[in-house]
Structure 1
């Protein structure tokens, strides 16, 4: 009986695999004789070919041509992409890559409008430096909650290899950090302590993509952070962070995961699951000691035509986090609530967004979005005296008097709403969006506007 069952299972497996094997055998395969790039005015032909991942001598099928076209669209460099072949000899072809560049640079105003964070600035961004897809951006912003200068450089095609990615960035920031009375049901959340945090930081990241789906990266960050005394007009005046000389914070972050996402104009497809570990100790030239663990899930599903369901879930936990490295929720990260309203060392969050086309005016696409944001924030461990100290006895976090640890002090909040998104197909222009959100816990409506790139 057991032999019969084994033979039966084997036959079933072969039956399931047979159609696929036959389909693969019947798929016409041709050998690439030549790769020709046509159309780009700025992008260098070798850059276009590098992103196509097609070279002379490669075996090519109809399915491969579709993959090449999607790769080129996903770069964000081109408003139009057409991939076709021309026969050269028997079973050999010339691959034609026809592309039309987007305008690669932009100078634009930036805006931030959300509960407790209003302001704006100016942005310059170049998406295709030297025609090699290198990216540079610099921005200045002044807002009620966070102001500063930002500069960043991204090379997604290091040494001409799309598998290698490097980024560098620097920031000068001045943050007004408000801490609110606990609970998500307040219609007008009460500020109980207000602290000014100034910082300067630089960071670099090196990443590698294997098999177009497995991604690993290492990021090193170095910063100086300085806290001022709390606002004496608020209820709590005990410092949230030591107000002595500025301190050096350095960290090393390691990440590995699966990433098959592609942004095909306004639609995101694919899945991303990644795990990360960040450590700050004297071994990485830091004056702090803390750790942070993270697990991230992102998924884009194309439904009907240009309809797009985008899911995002995250679990994060920190150990001995200082004030300036704590986890936060609220504002654009949890719509329906005040900017950075909730703080903690452990966070669970989930967002679902349904994007759909409304209408198009020439190259400008108007899209709607319906969303739901849910978040759980808590403190796992608070010292008995309410103060977290480093190895030198310096206070790196002074908790609020009413702070509670564990699930009894946890905050579960949800916001739902709808919004509008604008995309320009022929210009590398940052997303413009406006959202109206209803805080289920508080019963309050709040509005959010973001235009351009926020330095944070």
Structure 2
């Protein structure tokens, strides 16, 4: 075949393909002409628009519609969310946000039932103050281990910007702090020293979120702490730290991390990785000197339908921690063991929970949970005289005679079990849960009930 014939065939093929190529050119995404909010009885339309994060003049894709719906559900303000659009002209659309408010406030009793901590109280919470998604809660509780009054305010949408977050909280507390005989194999851990500690604190935090995933925050806390003499009926009566006038503890905490978590009704999805550093010294207005370092991992995975795997791991370490700032494990933080049974200046922990639906009696949902809690607690090193002092020579921690430092003396404990969770879809009601846990080390079963929030 001659070269001229080849060229002619090629030209014919190109002419046949040209119309098809032109037909495959996609139309540009429509542009939002206006954003219309329908349905809310309390939430202000500008609040709904702010959480949508898409406004007039922005292009709209199908992916955007799904993202907006998830953002609105994740606020916790609405029991139903529908996102759609309708054309207003060539290449222009009207974005429609249709929502149904939850009942935003609640007055409810609170309960706590853990080993060595039993009590209850009352809670008032408003989840949508002034229709602008501001949150306020106040609670009073009396229990065997801790009693107090708590009040807190959270603005997750500061100045109408979901990227900015501000919180303010304060509390008055009276704690009965028990220290136990070392060891994880005790069925009934023995209290060695019992100290009453009274405190008052106020804290404020300012945070920001970039690109819906990078989160940073700074928190300042101011506390007055007053320790009483130990209970003379227990084995150790040496004061846990120097008695006298109330002491001032102030700290500055900085945090940065990645946070893509969203609570979609009863299911938590997304990843949270964060690092934190907390400093207390006279430079920030404190009578104490200590530091705390932390790494936190949280991950929620939706498996099948409403099944949810929630993972949590944490590594924290402190330097020269006074007694009231030490790390603790036991109770809801390590199920299967006594409330605050273990203490130290270094802690590793990992929790895995598998949540699954049981049945629903509209609008109440019953969900089961299977869990495993693992913790490692230790003192890295202890002073030879068993007393930690600050720069002024004041004792800020008197350790128990049997306390040991180093990796060889670390406490390793694990608890496994199952529980029940209750959720209300149409009202802002705190989580109600009950757990039965088996302490692998001690062979003991323990039960835990938490309803509402408490001052801790």
Q: Do they fold alike, i.e. is TM over 0.5? A: yes
Shift of 1:392: 1.3
The answer to whether 1:344 aligns with 2:326 is no
Per the alignment, in what secondary structure is the counterpart of residue 382 of structure 2? coil
Task: Measure the CA separation in 2 of the matches of 1:310 and 1:241.
Answer: 39
Shift of 1:27: 8.7
Could you tell me whether the CA contact under 8 Å between 1:27 and 1:61 is conserved in 2? Answer: no
Per the alignment, in what secondary structure is the counterpart of residue 122 of structure 1? strand
Task: Measure the CA separation in 1 of the matches of 2:212 and 2:305.
Answer: 25
TM-score, normalised via structure 1 length? 0.94
Match of 2:396 in 1: 396
Shift of 1:244: 1.2
Match of 1:12 in 2: none
Match of 1:74 in 2: 74
**Can you give the 5+ residue segments of structure 2 that lack an aligned partner in the other structure?**
1-24
Match of 1:256 in 2: 256
Write the deviation string for residues 155-187 of structure 1: whole angstroms up to 9, x where unpaired.
Answer: 000000000000000000000000000011101
Write the deviation string for residues 391-410 of structure 1: whole angstroms up to 9, x where unpaired.
Answer: 11111000000000011211
Match of 1:136 in 2: 136
CA-atom RMSD in angstroms: 0.8
Match of 1:284 in 2: 284
Task: Measure the CA separation in 1 of the matches of 2:454 and 2:354.
Answer: 23
The answer to whether 1:41 aligns with 2:57 is no
Task: Measure the CA separation in 1 of the matches of 2:244 and 2:64.
Answer: 60
The answer to whether 1:94 aligns with 2:94 is yes
TM-score, normalised via structure 2 length? 0.94
Rg larger in 1 or in 2? Answer: 2
Give the 5 Å matches for 1:220-369.
Answer: 220-369=220-369
Query: How many aligned residue pairs are there?
Result: 432
Give the 5 Å matches for 1:400-439.
Answer: 400-439=400-439
The answer to whether 1:126 aligns with 2:126 is yes
Write the deviation string for residues 237-280 of structure 1: whole angstroms up to 9, x where unpaired.
Answer: 11112111110000000000000000000000000000000000
Shift of 1:90: 1.7
Shift of 1:68: 0.1
Shift of 1:207: 0.1
Distance 1:70 1:226, change over 3 A: same
The answer to whether 1:110 aligns with 2:94 is no
Task: Measure the CA separation in 1 of the matches of 2:308 and 2:26.
Answer: 33
Match of 1:18 in 2: none
Task: Measure the CA separation in 2 of the matches of 1:50 and 1:93.
Answer: 19
Task: Measure the CA separation in 2 of the matches of 1:420 and 1:312.
Answer: 19
Match of 1:387 in 2: 387
Per the alignment, in what secondary structure is the counterpart of residue 306 of structure 2? coil
Shift of 1:28: 6.4
**Can you give the 5+ residue segments of structure 1 that lack an aligned partner in the other structure?**
1-24
Per the alignment, in what secondary structure is the counterpart of residue 79 of structure 1? strand
Task: Measure the CA separation in 1 of the matches of 2:301 and 2:333.
Answer: 21
Distance 1:388 1:124, change over 3 A: same
Match of 1:84 in 2: 84
Write the deviation string for residues 374-421 of structure 1: whole angstroms up to 9, x where unpaired.
Answer: 000000121110000111111100000000001121100000000000
Could you tell me whether the CA contact under 8 Å between 1:323 and 1:397 is conserved in 2? Answer: yes
Could you tell me whether the CA contact under 8 Å between 1:28 and 1:62 is conserved in 2? Answer: no
Distance 1:26 1:229, change over 3 A: farther
Shift of 1:340: 0.2
Task: Measure the CA separation in 2 of the matches of 1:26 and 1:312.
Answer: 44
Distance 1:28 1:349, change over 3 A: farther
